[in-house]
Chain A
Amino acid sequence: MVKIGLFICDCGGTLTKNLNFDELVSWAEKSGRFAFVVRGSDLCDESGLKELEAKVKKDGVERVVVAACSPKVKGEELARSVEAAGLSRYSMVVANIREQCAWAHPSQLKEATVKAKALINAAASRAEKIEEVPVRAIPISQRALVIGGGISGITAAQELAELGFEVTIVERQPTLGGLCLKLGTVFPTDDCSLCVRTTACPALGGDSTRKCIYRAAIEVDPRIQVMTNAEVVKVSGEVGNFAVTVKRKPRYVSDACINCGACADVCPVSVRDEFNLGLSERKAIYLPFPQAIPPIYVIDPENCKFKECAKCVDACPVNAINLDEKEEEVVVNVGTIIVATGFEEYEPRRLVDYGYGKLPDVVTQVELARLLDITGPTGGRLVRISDGRPVERIVMIQCAGSRDEKHNFYCSNICCMIALKHALMIKRRFPEVDVVIAYMDIRPVGSRYEEYYREARELGVTFVRGKPACIVPEEDGKLVVDVENTLTGEFNRIKADMVALSMSMVPSKGTQELARILGVKLGPDGYIETLDRKVRPAETNVAGIFVAGAAMMPMDIPYSIAHASAAAIMAARLMKKGEIEKPLLTAVVNEETCGKCMVCQWACPFKAIAVVEGEAARVTEAKCFGCGLCAGACPTESIELRNHTDEQIAATIEGLASDGVKPNIVAIACYECGYSAVDYAGMLGLEYPANVKTMEVPCTAVVDPQEILKALMNGVDGVLIVGCFEGRCHFDKGVRAIGAKVALLKAMLKQLGINPQKLQVVNVDCAEADKFVNAAKQIVSQLQ
Chain B
Amino acid sequence: MVAGNSSGYAMFLGCVIPNLLPHLEISIRKVFGKLDVEVKDVAGFSCCPEPIGTPGLDITTWVTLAARNLCVAEEAGLDIVTFCNGCFETLKEAKVLLEHDAKLRSKVAEALSKVGREYRGRVEVKHFAQVLYNDIGPAKLRSYVERPLKGVKVAAHYGCHILRPSHLLQVDDPFNPVLLDALVEATGAESVDYFRKFLCCGCGVGNLDEATNVKMVMEKLHYMTQAKADCMAVLCPVCFRQYDVRQMIINKTYGKDYNIPVFYYTQLLGLAMGMTPDELELKSNRTKVDPLLAKLNGGK
Using a CB–CB cutoff of 8 Å, the interface residues on chain A facing chain B are 352-353, 355, 358, 470, 472-473, 475
The 7 closest A-B pairs by CB, nearest first: A352-B175, A472-B195, A352-B176, A472-B196, A473-B195, A470-B196, A472-B223
CB distance from B219 to the nearest CB of A (A): 9
Q: Per DSSP, are chain B's interface residues mostly helix, strand or loop, or mixed?
A: loop
Which residues of A sit under 8 angstroms from B195, Cβ to Cβ?
355, 470, 472-473
Chain B residues, Cβ within 8 Å of A470: 195-196
Q: How far is the CB of A46 from chain B (nearest CB, A)?
A: 70
The residues of A that contact B176 with a CB separation of less than 8 Å are 352
Contact yes or no, B193 A358, CB < 8 A:
yes
CB closest residue in chain B, given A353? B175
CB-defined A-B contacts under 8 Å, sample of 5: A355-B195, A470-B195, A472-B195, A473-B226, A475-B226
- Hey, which chain A residues are within 8 Å of B226, CB to CB? 473, 475
Interface residues of B in 153-210 (CB under 8 A from A): 175-176, 193, 195-196
Chain A nearest CB, measured from B226 CB (Å) = 8
User: What residues of chain A lie closer than 8 Å to B193, measured between beta carbons?
Assistant: 358
Chain B nearest CB from A305 CB (Å) reads 36
Smallest Cβ distance from B177 to chain A, in angstroms? 11
Q: How many residues of chain B have a CB within 8 Å of chain A?
A: 7
How far does the alpha carbon of A472 sit from the alpha carbon of B223 in the complex, in Å?
9
Q: Which residue of B lies closest to A358 (CB)?
A: B193
Residues of A with C-beta under 8 A to B223: 472
Q: Which residue of A lies closest to B223 (CB)?
A: A472
* Residues of B with C-beta under 8 A to A353: 175
Q: Report A112 CB to chain B, min CB distance, Å.
A: 54
Q: For A355, what are the chain B residues with a Cβ–Cβ distance below 8 Å?
A: 195
Residue of A nearest to B175 (CB): A352
Give the CA-CA distance A1 to B195 in the complex, in Å: 88
Q: In the assembly, what is the distance between CA of A358 and CA of B196, in Å? A: 13
Other contacts beyond A470-B196, A472-B223, A475-B226: 9, CB < 8 A:
A352-B175, A352-B176, A353-B175, A355-B195, A358-B193, A472-B195, A472-B196, A473-B195, A473-B226
Q: Which residue of B lies closest to A470 (CB)?
A: B196
Q: How far is the CB of B55 from chain A (nearest CB, A)?
A: 24
In the complex, A473 Cα to B223 Cα: how many Å? 9
Q: How far is the CB of B287 from chain A (nearest CB, A)?
A: 23
Query: How many Å lie between the Cα of A473 and that of B196 in the bound state?
Result: 10
Rounded to whole Å, the gap between the CB of B293 and the closest CB of chain A is: 29
Closest to A480 in B: B195
Q: Which residue of B lies closest to A355 (CB)?
A: B195
Docked Cα-Cα span, A358 to B226, in Å, equals 14
Task: Tell me the minimal C-beta distance from A481 to chain B in angstroms.
Answer: 13
Q: Which of A353, A355, A358, A475 has the most CB of B within 10 A?
A: A353
Q: Closest CB of chain B to A472's CB: distance in Å?
A: 5
Q: What is the minimal beta-carbon distance from A390 to any residue of chain B, in angstroms?
A: 25
Nearest-neighbour CB distance to chain A for B16, whole angstroms, equals: 29
* Whole-angstrom distance between the Cβ of B227 and the nearest chain A Cβ: 11
Q: In the complex the two chains form, what is the Cα distance from A353 to B193 in whole Å?
A: 12
Q: Please, how many angstroms separate the alpha-carbon atoms of A475 and B193 in the complex? A: 16
How far apart are B154's CB and chain A's nearest CB, in angstroms?
A: 18
| Chain A residues closer than 8 Å to B196, beta-carbon distance | 470, 472
CB distance from A491 to the nearest CB of B (A): 12
Count chain A CB atoms within 10 A of each CB in B175, B193, B195, B223 and give the residue with the most.
Answer: B195
Nearest A residue to B195, CB-CB: A472
A362 to chain B, nearest CB (A): 12
